[in-house]
Each structure stands twice: as C-alpha cells, then as structure tokens.
Amino acid sequence: MAGVNLSGIVKSYGALQVVHGIDLDVSEKEFVVLVGPSGCGKSTTLRMIAGLEEITAGELTIDGRRMNRIAPKDRDVAMVFQNYALYPHLNVADNMAFGLRIRKMPKAEIKTTIDDVAEILGLTPYLERRPADLSGGQRQRVAMGRAIVRHPKVFLFDEPLSNLDAKLRTQMRAEIKRLHNRLGVTSIYVTHDQVEAMTLADRIVVMNDGNIEQVGTPMELFNNPANTFVAGFLGSPP
C-alpha cells in the first residue's frame, strides 16, 4: 500500500508525447534510481510525481492515495534539484525555514526543526551565512535541509550532485544514502551516472525515449540485461 505507484503514466507537451505510459511500483523505504540518456524523460517523470507537471494520462498514487489532482504542497514529497534553487538573499536558516513559514508553523517550532536538521547535516556553524558564502557541498546540504524540514515521506532527487567535483560527489552520495536510511523515507533519484546508480540503488529503472526498458537490482541488470540498450548503458563502466 505505501510507496509510490505509477500506472500507465503519460506526458504530452501539446502534440508531442514524451512519456509513453510507464508503470512503476516503488516500495516504502526503497531507494530507486532512474537512469537513462539525456532527454529520455527522467526529470519529467520526477516532476509529475512532485506535482510540478500535470499528468496527461494514467494514475499516480503515493501511500495508496491518488495524487493526480493534489497540489505539490499537499503531497508528502520533497524535491532536491541540481541547481539547489536557494534564495540568494536569505541565510541558511531562513532558506530552510521558508517552506515552514508558508505553512504557518509556529516560530519556536521552526527554530527547533531548523536546529535539528542543521545538526543532522553538519550545517550548525553556517546558519547565518548566505548561499554565496558556502561551498558547493554546503549549498547542496542546505537544499537537502530545505527538503527534510518538512518531514516528507518521499524524497525526489534530480541529478543533485552533478554540479559537484568527483570527490565531493562520492562523499555526498554516501550522505544521501545515510540520510535516506536514517529518515526512513522512500527515495527516487535521477542521474545519468551509471556508477552513482549502481552504488545508490536498491533497484535501478532504465529509461529510454519515454519508456522503461528494465527494472531490477544493480546485480540483476548488470548480469542479466533485458536488451542491448540496457547492456550498453550499464554493462560497460566508463
């Protein structure tokens, strides 16, 4: 019952169909990674789950509730983007508090929440800083903090680490996985990086041209690719 369920999900922009009726069941607390070449529909799929794009056809449920017509703020999801999308004029604490103020959370409760989340992410010394005075890794943590403060059940990540250098990427990848386990959330993570997919995923979803080619554990896909596309995409490490 819990988790995220996509059934026959279609997305069209005008006459152009870019997601062709995909089915996917993500279990509660699972870490699922969507991979595939640029333009195959990964972000569009994630944005439909978040409610940032209208679903053209098909059914989306989260925790067994039909989501198609539910506004993003009323879904139990939070999304972390590649470009962080932080407010440059607000400090770290206010960036993380922004969504809570909109939801009219009491001031004292906001402070406790921000302090807790900052502690988890190692951001306590930086709460007064503006985004411009943070490193790339710290900005990424703030972006995650902003998602976490709402206590969502589902985390959506759209290539969150692609602006970071290789060393930091490896470190943040481990942090994201730790966070996923610690918070007990369900995560759907988009990347075009095969190594990232292989190391993070409970299951990998391989997309190509608006379709799902195969779903399986990293080992299943690596050892038993359904077709040459999957084999070519995951089979040969870069």
> Should residue 83 be labelled a site residue for ligand ADP when binding is judged by CB under 6 A?
no
> Should residue 52 be labelled a site residue for ligand ADP when binding is judged by CB under 6 A?
no
Inter-residue contact 59 to 21 (CB < 8 Å): no
Smallest CA-to-CA distance from 61 within 25, 17, 35, 19 is with: 25
| Of 43, 82, 186, 187, the one binding Mg ion by CB under 5 A | 43
**Helix crossing, 107-121 with 92-102: angle to 10°?**
130
> Should residue 191 be labelled a site residue for Mg ion when binding is judged by CB under 5 A?
no
> Should residue 18 be labelled a site residue for ligand ADP when binding is judged by CB under 6 A?
yes
Complex with ligand ADP: residue 3 or 210, whichever CB lies closer: 210
Residues in 202-231 that interact with ligand ADP by CB under 6 A: none
Smallest CA-to-CA distance from 149 within 173, 115, 172 is with: 115
> Should residue 40 be labelled a site residue for ligand ADP when binding is judged by CB under 6 A?
yes
* H or E element, residue 26: strand 16-26
> Should residue 42 be labelled a site residue for ligand ADP when binding is judged by CB under 6 A?
yes
**Number of amino acids touching ligand ADP (CB under 6 A):** 10
User: Please, what is the end-to-end C-alpha distance for the chain in angstroms?
Assistant: 38
Site track 19-38 with ligand ADP (rule: CB under 6 A), x = hit: -----------------x-x
What's phi and psi for 141, nearest 5 deg?
-65, -40
Q: How far is CA 33 from the centre of its chain?
A: 9
> Should residue 82 be labelled a site residue for ligand ADP when binding is judged by CB under 6 A?
no
User: Where along the sequence are the contacts to Mg ion (CB under 5 A)?
Assistant: 43
